[in-house]
């Protein structure tokens, strides 16, 4: 290897690539514009869904108790629309399923009497109130929460009154208080929700960011018939492979840096731009996170660059290279998406899965979970090893006449 030749090749290739509009699009335009747009659309969509569900009129049915009862009135006081019982066409649970109702509250026959019997110790088990709801509908869940709160309060009040009637203190109901404190700092809470999706976005953009230069610098050069002019110079094949590899790596890391910066800006600005998005999006990514993620991603970028370079050298035409890289993308996107699944954590098993391991580490880094640094170092080493192996394959391929001069 000759450093000055590698440098000359690297500088020329970088200049050449940066003058290409397609590089600019995959490196700058998509990360800098598409990402914030995507996040705003997702955030505003989910927020407007929530607001819609909150504001929408909820229709419920109450069966088994008279309209004049206190409990009925308490539920009615929540302002929800209560369907008259004589208009119900079929069983309340079916109506909820059909989305005719958002919630159905079913009291057993003789409910009030049964409650009294239970207090008087003449009934072994208390009567059961059934709430029918549909978990897939936000509006139904909201109705459930409201009605359940009313019923719970009513239940507590009745027991309190009973205790007082026996000359006991009502607060005996609560011989101790319960308090749950979330120990996760607020920035990590936001991180855990968003870390998953961010890790995924970063990985995908890194892959797509390296795909175009990797193909252009290999099969693109072959197709444009400039490769021979380079091969006849004293630059060795090793110099050429390393010079081109470094160019691809730098471009994919630049794309990643722009992605992360764009994500950070979006996250920090979103809270103030969108009222109510605060909880979801007020997510601080400090310089420490950015630097650690970028450093960690170097071997991952090397892995992607070498992989796509191998495809590019093997392909005869740009078109062929693109169609070879499609299944490869799928192969990479799947594990990256897998890392978004709730149960996926860094473990002795996942640590050896390429792409999955890196996505999981990035997620933890975004959550500022610094305790995983030793694991991150191991994953760093593993990715470096894989990248080196692939680069060696690329190097071997670049020395094969039958690959370079395929006709």
Partner 1 sequence: MIRLEQVHKCFRSGKKDVQALVDFSMEVKPGLVYGLLGPNGAGKTTALRIIATLLKPDAGVVTVNELDARRDPGQARRHIGFLTGDTKLYDRLTPRETLRYFGSLYEMIPGELDGRIAELARMLQMDDYLDRRMGRLSTGQKQKLSIARAVIHNPAVIVLDEPTSGLDVIASRNVVEFILQSGSEGKTVLFSTHILSEAERICQDIGMIHLGRMLLEDSLSTIKAVHPGNTLEDIFLELVENHEEEPQ
List residues binding ligand ATP (CB under 6 A).
405, 407
Sites for partner 1 among residues 372-401 (CB under 8 A): 401
Out of 85, 156, 233, 317, the residue judged to bind partner 1 by CB under 8 A: 233
CB of 234 to ligand ATP, least distance (A): 23
Strand arrangement of the beta sheet that strand 130-132 belongs to: 81-83, 59-63, 103-106, 130-132
Of these partners, ligand ATP, partner 1, none, which one is at the site of residue 19 (CB under 5 to 8 Å by kind)?
partner 1
> Is residue 8 part of the contact set for partner 1 (CB under 8 A)?
yes
Contact letters for partner 1, residues 189-228 (x by CB under 8 A) = -----------------------------------xxx-x
Cβ atoms 101, 109 nearer than 8 A: no
Residue with the shortest CB distance to ligand ATP: 405
CA separation for the pair 354, 273 (Å, rounded): 38
CA separation for the pair 158, 144 (Å, rounded): 21
> Is residue 405 part of the contact set for partner 1 (CB under 8 A)?
yes
Which is nearer to partner 1, 19 or 275 (by Cβ)?
19
Which is nearer to partner 1, 125 or 229 (by Cβ)?
229
For the record, the structure tokens of 58 come out as 């909820």
Which is nearer to ligand ATP, 45 or 405 (by Cβ)?
405
Which is nearer to partner 1, 203 or 315 (by Cβ)?
315
Q: Is 202 exposed, middle or buried (0-12, 13-18, 19+ CB in 10 A)?
A: buried
Q: Which secondary structure element, helix H or strand E, spans residue 130, and what is its range?
A: strand 130-132
The DSSP secondary-structure symbol of 29 reads: I
> Is residue 19 part of the contact set for partner 1 (CB under 8 A)?
yes
Interface with partner 1 (CB under 8 A), residue total 24
Q: Which residues are CB-contacts of 377 (< 8 A; sequence separation ≥ 6)?
A: none
The DSSP result for 263-290, as a single string, is HHHHHHHHHHHSTT-HHHH-----HHHH
Of these partners, partner 1, ligand ATP, none, which one is at the site of residue 15 (CB under 5 to 8 Å by kind)?
partner 1
Cβ atoms 59, 96 nearer than 8 A: no
The DSSP secondary-structure symbol of 107 reads: P
Of these partners, ligand ATP, partner 1, none, which one is at the site of residue 317 (CB under 5 to 8 Å by kind)?
none
Which is nearer to partner 1, 11 or 49 (by Cβ)?
11
Judged by CB under 8 A, which stretch of 16-24, 41-49, 203-211, 312-320 contacts partner 1? 16-24
> Is residue 122 part of the contact set for partner 1 (CB under 8 A)?
no
Which contacts of 327-330 are long-range, i.e. CB under 8 A and separated by 24 or more positions? 329/207, 329/208, 329/211
Q: Applying CB under 8 A, which residues contact partner 1?
A: 4-5, 8-9, 12, 15-16, 19-20, 224-226, 228-236, 401-402, 405
């Amino acid at each position: 290897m000759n450093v000055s030749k590698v440098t000359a090749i690297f500088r020329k290739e970088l200049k050449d690539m940066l003058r290409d509009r397609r590089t600019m699009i995959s490196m700058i335009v998509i990360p800098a514009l598409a990402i914030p747009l995507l996040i705003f659309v997702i955030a505003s969509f989910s927020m407007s869904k929530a607001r819609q569900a909150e504001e929408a009129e909820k229709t419920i049915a109450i069966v088994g108790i008279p309209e004049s009862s206190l409990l009925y009135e308490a539920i009615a006081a929540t302002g929800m629309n209560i369907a008259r019982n004589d208009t119900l066409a079929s069983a309340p649970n079916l109506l909820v399923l059909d989305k005719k109702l958002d919630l159905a509250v079913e009291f057993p026959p003789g409910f009030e009497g049964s409650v009294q019997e239970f207090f008087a110790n003449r009934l072994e088990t208390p009567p059961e109130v059934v709430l029918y709801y549909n978990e897939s509908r936000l509006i139904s869940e909201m109705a459930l929460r409201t009605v359940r709160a009313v019923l719970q309060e009513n239940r507590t009040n009745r027991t309190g009154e009973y205790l007082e009637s026996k000359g006991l203190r009502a607060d005996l109901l609560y011989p101790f208080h319960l308090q749950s404190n979330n120990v996760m700092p607020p920035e990590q809470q936001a991180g855990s929700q968003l870390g998953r999706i961010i890790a995924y976005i970063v990985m995908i953009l890194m892959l797509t960011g390296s795909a175009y230069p990797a193909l252009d610098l290999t099969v693109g050069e072959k197709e444009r018939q400039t490769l021979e002019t380079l091969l006849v110079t004293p630059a060795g094949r090793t110099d050429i492979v390393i010079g081109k590899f470094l160019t691809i790596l730098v471009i994919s890391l630049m794309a990643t840096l722009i992605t992360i910066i764009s994500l950070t800006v979006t996250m920090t600005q979103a809270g103030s731009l969108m009222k109510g998005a605060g909880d979801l999006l007020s997510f601080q990514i400090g310089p420490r996170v950015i630097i650690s993620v970028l450093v960690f991603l170097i071997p991952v970028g090397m892995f992607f660059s070498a992989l796509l370079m191998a495809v590019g050298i093997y392909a005869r035409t740009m078109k062929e290279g693109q169609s070879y890289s499609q299944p490869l993308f799928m192969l990479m996107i799947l594990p990256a998406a897998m890392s978004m699944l709730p149960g996926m954590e860094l473990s002795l098993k996942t640590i050896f899965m390429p792409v999955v391991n890196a996505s999981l580490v990035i997620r933890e880094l975004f959550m500022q979970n610094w305790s995983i640094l030793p694991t991150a170092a191991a994953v760093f080493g593993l990715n470096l090893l894989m990248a080196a192996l692939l680069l060696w394959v690329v190097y071997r391929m670049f020395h094969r006449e039958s690959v370079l001069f395929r006709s």
